[in-house]
Amino acid sequence: MALATVRRILISETVDPCCKQILQENGIDVTEKQNLSKDELITEVKGYEGLIVRSATKVTADVIDAAENLKIIGRAGTGVDNVDVEAATKKGIIVMNTPSGNTTSAAELTCGMIVSLSRQIPQAVMSMKAGNWDRKKFMGAELYGKTLGIVGLGRIGKEVAIRMQSFGMKTVGYDPIIPPEVTATFGVEQMSLERLWPLCDYITVHTPLMPSTTGLLNDESFARCRKGVKVINCARGGIIDEAALLRALESGQCGGAGLDVFIDEPPKDWSLVNHPGVVSCPHLGANTKEAQIRCGRDIATQIVEMVQGKSLIGAVNAQVLTAAIAPESRPWIKLGEALGSVAKACAGQVKSQVQITTLGQSLKNAAGYLSAAVVVGLLKDGSKNAVNLVNALPLAKEAGVTVCCVSFKSFLNKIASHQSDAAPILAQSACEVEICANGVSHKVVGSVQGDVPVLLELNGGLFRQPVPLAGNLIFFKALANPQLVSSVAGVLAAAGLQMESFSTSAAIAGEQWCSVGVSSLLGDLNTLKVHVKEALQLFL
């Protein structure tokens, strides 16, 4: 399933030529314009469905608001610190990076920093270039037997661990997401930060920059470390508190630092860079020929495969879509949107509480995209932003819609209990949407039959034949009465409408729900309401 149509892409920074080539070979028009100012970018981006950047281009909310047609922002590298992901998400724009493009390069630079700190290699080089031969000044220390603490054990952290183990280092680490049994497979013992700080001779950080990691190494954590600990940051500026690091270096609590990243780049304050115990680089983590080729190739390939509906890799704000891209998901997404529209027509308003229940083995990974799809149906035509699977859940929150998704294991049994009055319903998987507004609850249940979304149940009424959810539909509840069909047909005929299909539910307490497919919707639904208890209509 294609998640977006992308015909034109703007590349705003220098990216390996293979990126442009791959995109063009797959029918996408590419324009390269580097060094655009913010105002120039705002003007230029309006005509494109895609934007590819590295780290210099700042894709702010202003840029995103101006991007009328933008569907995808691709970052040729790891991290998306230079993209306002929240603003992009609200506008339904997928933000994508290349999670493994610079893994090896960043890991190797980190290892180089560790070796440089242990033997003071850069300082010795500069001394030699100044004409000095001073062996005693540059006494180093072996890495063998030392303990390396790795904070963040994802791709890069793992590769650093494997490489430094070859030096005979003991590797310990911390990661709030990756299970300890997984990191144990590549030789890293996990522990809390409180345990980790005092154990380490070297500490390297490999986390994204977020509120929970900003200033992770600060005055308090440095005080818990071994005296003379050496720290490395090749991840993101700000993970190590720069002022606290300078204080630790000056006091001797920190014995050296390897820094490839800074809070401000280039730094506004060069005190750290100029400190004799600091080895620094101008953000070179991904600056290898191999990484640039890999990142350019990966971002182009990922965009092409997303457009072609083959896969979704590297999306940082659309994880729910990963399962949605499979071809078999498309009819279920259509079903979710249709059920959301029916639920909205029943409730008569958007602000509500919505519970989505999934059932069946085929829907075990569908909760995320089905929830989003239902919300699309609830919100479309009522939101200032175009609603899609990317922004549906954030926009629901703004609109006052509370959404939860659960698995209701006894659902098919409940359907089966009604089947004495109705024709058999061959549904191995189903989706139930219950919406509650102003204390009144409505429930719709649907499934997919032969790739066609169908309605099985409406507010307790189980249809004898599943109702295809497409076209102009009128639903009404009335007393089971042989004269009902003729009365409804008369109303439709008087309005010049043709009846194209008709289905009824099993009667409960003498009442039943009916579904009528019509050539167009009634101009005035009240003409029908005089004959029935409840009525609603919609186009799907």
Among residues 247, 283, 418, 531, the one annotated as catalytic is: 283
Distance, in Å, from the CA atom of 467 to the CA atom of 540, rounded to the nearest integer, reads: 12
Residue 351: predicted pLDDT: 80
The answer to whether 156 and 180 have CB atoms below 8 angstroms apart is: no
Q: Which of 58, 154, 140 minimizes the C-alpha distance to 106?
A: 154
HEC per residue, 170-185: EEEEECCCCCHHHHHC
Decide if 265 is catalytic: yes
CA atoms within 13 A on the CB side of 505: 27
Decide if 275 is catalytic: no
pTM: 0.79
Residue 424: predicted pLDDT: 44
Distance, in Å, from the CA atom of 147 to the CA atom of 323, rounded to the nearest integer, reads: 41
Roughly how many angstroms between the first and final C-alpha of the chain, as a whole number? 20
- Residues in the chain with pLDDT values less than 70: 1-2, 382-385, 407-427
HEC per residue, 426-449: CCCCEEEEEEEECCEEEEEEEEEE
Distance, in Å, from the CA atom of 117 to the CA atom of 64, rounded to the nearest integer, reads: 42
Distance, in Å, from the CA atom of 130 to the CA atom of 122, rounded to the nearest integer, reads: 12
| Tens digit of each residue's pLDDT (9 = 90 or more) over 312-359 | 899 999 877 877 788 888 899 999 999 999 999 999 877 889 999 988
The answer to whether 54 and 329 have CB atoms below 8 angstroms apart is: no
Among residues 54, 75, 206, 236, the one annotated as catalytic is: 236
Q: Is 429 exposed, middle or buried (CB count within 10 Å of its CB: 0-12, 13-18, 19+)?
A: middle
Among residues 194, 265, 328, 500, the one annotated as catalytic is: 265
Complete DSSP assignment for 60-89 = -HHHHHH-TT--EEEESSS--TTB-HHHHH
Average pLDDT, the chain: 91
Decide if 442 is catalytic: no
| Tens digit of each residue's pLDDT (9 = 90 or more) over 79-138 | 888 999 999 999 999 999 998 889 999 999 999 999 999 999 999 999 999 999 999 999
| Tens digit of each residue's pLDDT (9 = 90 or more) over 429-469 | 899 999 998 889 999 999 999 899 999 999 999 999 999 99
Chain centre to alpha carbon of residue 323: 12
